[in-house]
Amino acid sequence: MKNCLECGKPLMGRVDKKFCLDMCRNSYNNRLNSDSYNIVRTMNNQLRKNRRILQDVCPEDKIKTTKSLLLGKGFDFNLITSIRPTLKGNIYHFVYDYGYLELENDIYLIVKDKRLDK
């Protein structure tokens, strides 16, 4: 006779049954996945925060702002979703549909990619 992988109680029913209750199955899987998903969850939270900051700073198509304003709001320049070079050689860093281009003297151009609006 097999026992539940989470609580150890004897299992009744199907031959391939692994858990006695849905609660045990959920607890087992949550515990199993918690460590490996912690870093992913943390990075996704910061990416969403970065996007919200860019969206708040840039309510229109584009705007210029300072690096200190972005940092003051908690923006993390190390986390982006893509990089797009232009024909002129500029490199935009994107967080989903909002991008930024570093100009001179810690000034940044924030843009919204309208191609993703559909």
pTM of the model: 0.71
Residue 118 has pLDDT above 70, yes or no: no
- The Cα 39–Cα 5 span in angstroms is 26
**Cβ atoms of 53 and 98 closer than 8 Å:** no
Residue with tokens 């972005």: 70
75-109 per-position pLDDT tens digit: 999 999 999 999 999 999 999 999 999 999 999 99
Mean pLDDT, to the nearest integer, of 44-71? 96
C-alpha dihedral sign at 113, 55, 84, 79: negative
- At 71, which helix (H) or strand (E)? helix 67-72
Q: Is the pLDDT of residue 6 over 60?
A: yes
